[in-house]
Amino acid sequence: MSAERKASSIAAYLEHRGKLSAHFASAEDLERLPIVLTKDDLRRNYPWGLLCVPKEHVHQYHESFGTTGVPIASPLTREDLEAYVEEILLTPFDLGGGDLVLVRFPYAISVPAHLFHRAAQARGAAVVAASSYSAISPPARVLRLVEQLGVTVLTCLPFEAVRLAHFARWQGYEPGKHFRTLRAVCTAGEVLGPAMRRYIESLWGAPVHQFYGSTEAGNVAYSCGRGSLHLAEPFFRATVVDEPARSARRDGRPGTLVLTTLRKEALPLLKYDTEDWATLNPAETCGCGDAHAVLEILGRRGEHYDFASRSGKDGKLRLLHTSVKEAMYELALERGTSPFFRCVRTDERLVIRLESEAPDPAAERWLEQRLGVDVELLSVRPGSLVDMASLSATELVQKPKYCH
């Protein structure tokens, strides 16, 4: 689709966004549209270029971290924010009165902390607004809050759940036994595969409930009791398209996830390219009883390594970064290795630095078999990748004092 046609489609959509029913008589009509919006479109129009309501109707403003440069704006009307919370509340997790929810997401600029905060309170739960790591809320203080307040639900990035549990061990606690009131961990903001989920559950002795979304879209999916992600269908229409033809896949195979928001007001998304690699299957493929489609997030498009096929035939082996992460958590579950690693591709080999007391040739062979590529597993000093001592350091936070 040319830039001119794309701009025309965006303009037409924004002009007639309140009359979608007249233009699209059915879901099939919507699916026939090409991709209309991309992340680059949102960045180019930052911050107000695609705003579809008067600015005075904006109730709350968020944006992405902007790690790739210009951030993506997410202005929300009051109704948008309420819908974001309702998307969280589709979860079958029985959050409610009597729960004390510690929110370990950052409250600054990004949206997850605010959504979990409001969703918990909507269910009658109390909230501990700990936020992410800072001088005010270092890991030691968070663990003290979990223990002394009797926190029942921890919400955070998957990696933060891992790091916080290992910090607790470093301080002499066993998270699964010491923090007895904790009954669940809710995660978002990072792809969570089955192995990483099981690893977190083994650390904390509590089930993990996963949520998937983005700042600009909201909470797109939630996990069921079986661990599958289910699309929040009252709020989104989703398709998975193949590359490079960009035609909808109906065979359950991986492709790019494309979303249309159904209730957003301030910045609605029409056939939006999320840049996430995913599969989409009917609800019945899960068997949990949830009526919403099953969504599996495999990783970010473009975040992969390409290797020559080891079979000697022409062709490439594509290894997703998330597949490497899953393998490392499988290794941690099976062999008790550290979850703290760094990975880089060198020529036709994957070089992985893993915190370890000594080299582990058996683990290296296991990874080669699991990933299907040559692996060099390097042992690095424990604490060199994730330094628990530095996490334990605290700063004295004081209000300014002007008169002495």
Which tens digits make up the pLDDT trace of 144-162?
999 999 999 999 999 999 9
- Would 1-300 and 304-389 be classified into the same CATH topology? no
> Do 17 and 267 meet the contact criterion of CB atoms below 8 Å apart?
no
What's the pLDDT tens digit per position in 277-300? 999 999 999 999 999 999 999 999
Q: Which CATH class is domain 1-300?
A: alpha beta
What does the pLDDT read at residue 18? 47
Residues 117/125, Cβ–Cβ less than 8 Å? no
Residue 14 pLDDT > 80:
no
Beta strands in 39-136 (DSSP E): 60-63, 73-76, 100-103, 126-128
Cα separations (Å) of 344 from 191, 207, 354, 396? 19, 32, 12, 38
**In the chain, where the domains are located:** 1-300, 304-389
DSSP annotation of 34 reads P
81 vs 111: CA distance, rounded Å: 10
CB atoms within 10 A of CB 75: 23
pLDDT at 239 over 80: yes
Structure tokens belonging to residue 344:
């880089």
Question: Quick one: pLDDT band at residue 230, thresholds 50, 70, 90?
Answer: very high
Give kind and range of the element (H or E) at residue 23: helix 20-23
Q: Give the whole-number percent of the chain exceeding pLDDT 70.
A: 89
Question: What are the tens digits of pLDDT across the range 300-318?
Answer: 998 999 998 776 566 789 9
Q: In what order do the strands lie in the sheet with 349-355?
A: 341-346, 349-355, 374-380
Per-residue pLDDT band at 81 (split at 50, 70, 90): very high
Is domain 304-389 in CATH 3.30.300, yes or no? yes
Question: Which neighbouring-strand residues pair with 378?
Answer: 353
Residue 152: other Cβ atoms inside 10 A? 20
